[in-house]
Amino acid sequence: MRKILVANRGEIAVRVMKTAKKMGIKTVAIYSTADRMSPHVQMADEAVLIGEAPSNKSYLLGEKIIEVAKRLNVDAIHPGYGFLSENAEFGELTEKNGITFIGPKSKAIKIMGSKLAAKEAVKAYDILMVPGTDEAITDIEEAKKIAQDIGFPILIKASAGGGGKGMRIVEKESDFESQMNRAISEAKSAFGDGSVFIEKYVTSPRHIEIQVMADSHGNVVHLFERECSIQRRHQKVVEEAPSSVLTPELRAKMGEAAIKVAKSCDYLGAGTVEFLLDDQHNFYFLEMNTRLQVEHPVTEMITGMDLVELQIRVARGEKLPIDQDDLKINGHAMELRVYAEDPLNDFLPSVGTLDVYQLPIGDHIRVDNGFEEGMEVPIYYDPMLSKLITYGKTREEAIELMLKAIENYKIEGIQTTLPFGTFVFEHDAFRSGNFDTHFVKKYYSPESLKTDQDNEAKIAALIALKQYIEDQKIVRLPN
C-alpha cells in the first residue's frame, strides 16, 4: 500500500494523513471549492478538486472519487467518518475497481447500518437489548398497542437513522400519536425511509461504547470503553476514557459482548459497539458504528495504540500485532469537540471568519484540528473545528489540564463550544462522575453559562485591580 486517498475533509483527513506519512505512504486529498485553503489540502502529497461546496456535489460523489483514485494509481481509500464511511455501495464500488477500502466489508456495513438488522444479528449471542419492537413499523395504531405493552416512557427511533434524527421520547400515551407522526416524517425527510422502531426508554442512562478491532485472520480485540454521556440534541460533545463508573468485571463483560457483536457480522477493521448502561449497571446493546469514531483519540491516549495505523495494517491483510492480554488502560483521557456553535443560542451553528485562531500547546495536550487563522467556517458541513484532548495519570489531572487547555485556546470571530466545555469540566456532577445523558437537560442553560462567564470576568477584574494597587505601592515607595 503505497498511496491512500482520504475521502474526507477537516480534522479527520489531517489525522489519517499524519499516520499515513508516518508509515511512508503517500496521500491524496480531495476537496470542494469551499475547502481550497484547508490544512488537509496543503498536507497531502496530491490534491484534487472534487466539486462544489455542498457535500452532494463533492464529498458524496462516490463514482467521481473512484475515478480520481484510479487516475492517480491509488491503492486504498480511507473514508474517515461521516460522508461515505458507512455507505456499503461505496465500499463495494471501491473493491470492484481493485482499490482497498480501509473499513469493514459491505455485509457488515449493511447489517449494522440498520438498527433492526443489527439487533437480529446479535440475538443469537445472548446480548441484552432494550425491550422493544423486533421489526420496523409505520402503522400508528399497532405501534400504540406495542408502546402500551412496553410501558411509558418509550423511545421512537428511525430504523435508518443516526445523529438524533427521527428520534422522539414519549413520556405519556396522550402524546404518542403526534410524536410518532413527527418521527416518521423526520425519518422520511432525513433518510428516505419512514420506518421506525419502538423501545423502552431507559431512565438515567449512560452512553458507553466499546472500541473493537478485527483482522482477516479471525482475531478480534476490544480496546476498552469510552464514556459519551455528555450530549446535546442526542449528539456527543464531551467524551472520556475510561468511564468513571465501570468496574473491571463490568468492563470485561461489556468488552466480551462487543467482541461477540463484531463476530456476529464478520467484522473487519475498527468499529465501535454502543451500549446503554442503566442506573443498576445493566447494559443493553444499542448499535454498532462501522467506522472510526470521532472520539477515537481518547482510546489512543489510554492504550498507546494508533487506531488508524491498525486500520491500515488490517486492510493490508496483516494480523493484529496485539492480543487482548497485551492491552492495558494507562491513565485517563478527556475530549471536547470544539464546534462552531453558540452555546448561548441553543447551540446554533456560528459561521464567519476565524479572526484569531491559536491552539493550546503543552505536554499531554493534543488538538486534532482542521482549520487555520483567517479561514472561513463554511455552512455546508458539520460545524466541528477540532477536537481538544488531554491526558493525565488520573481523571482529576486530565480534567484540570483540560480546563487549562480551554483557557489557552484562543478563538475570535465566531462562537464556539469552548465555554460550554468549561461549564461541564467545572461542574460538580461531572467531576464526581455522577451524571448521565440528561446532564445538559438537568444542569445546563444559557443563563447558567452567562452567570459563570460574568463571575469569571469579575474575578479577573478583581485580580487585575489588586495587581494595579500592588504596582502603585511599589511606584510610590520613597527613595
Active site residues: 291
Give the position of cell 420506518: 195
Longest dimension (CA), the chain: 92
Distance, CA of 182 to CA of 187 (rounded, Å): 8
Phi, psi of 50 (to 5 degrees): -100, -20
Distance, CA of 230 to CA of 235 (rounded, Å): 8
Cell reading at 113:
447500518
DSSP lists the bridge partners of residue 410 as: 358
Distance, CA of 370 to CA of 20 (rounded, Å): 17
Residues 6+ apart with CB under 8 A from 126: none
Q: How many CA atoms are closer than 13 Å to the CA of 331, on its beta-carbon side? A: 17
**CA 279, 281, 285, 291 torsion: positive or negative?**
positive
3-state secondary structure of 108: helix
Residues 6+ apart with CB under 8 A from 428: none
Distance, CA of 289 to CA of 113 (rounded, Å): 8
Distance, CA of 38 to CA of 203 (rounded, Å): 42
CA angle 440, 278, 114 (to 5 degrees): 85
DSSP assignment of 294-351, as one string? Answer: TTHHHHHHHH---HHHHHHHHHTTPPPS--GGG----SEEEEEEEESEETTTTTEE--
Number of H helices, E strands in the chain: 16, 22
Distance, CA of 9 to CA of 55 (rounded, Å): 11
How many other C-beta atoms lie within 10 A of the C-beta of residue 81? 16
Residue 343: asked if its preceding bond is cis (omega within 30°), the reply is: no
Is residue 334 within 8 Å of 398, Cβ to Cβ?
yes
How many other C-beta atoms lie within 10 A of the C-beta of residue 260? 17
315's torsion region: left (phi>0), alpha (psi -120 to 50) or beta?
alpha
Residue among 153, 196, 159 nearest 176 (CA): 153
Is residue 29 within 8 Å of 46, Cβ to Cβ?
yes
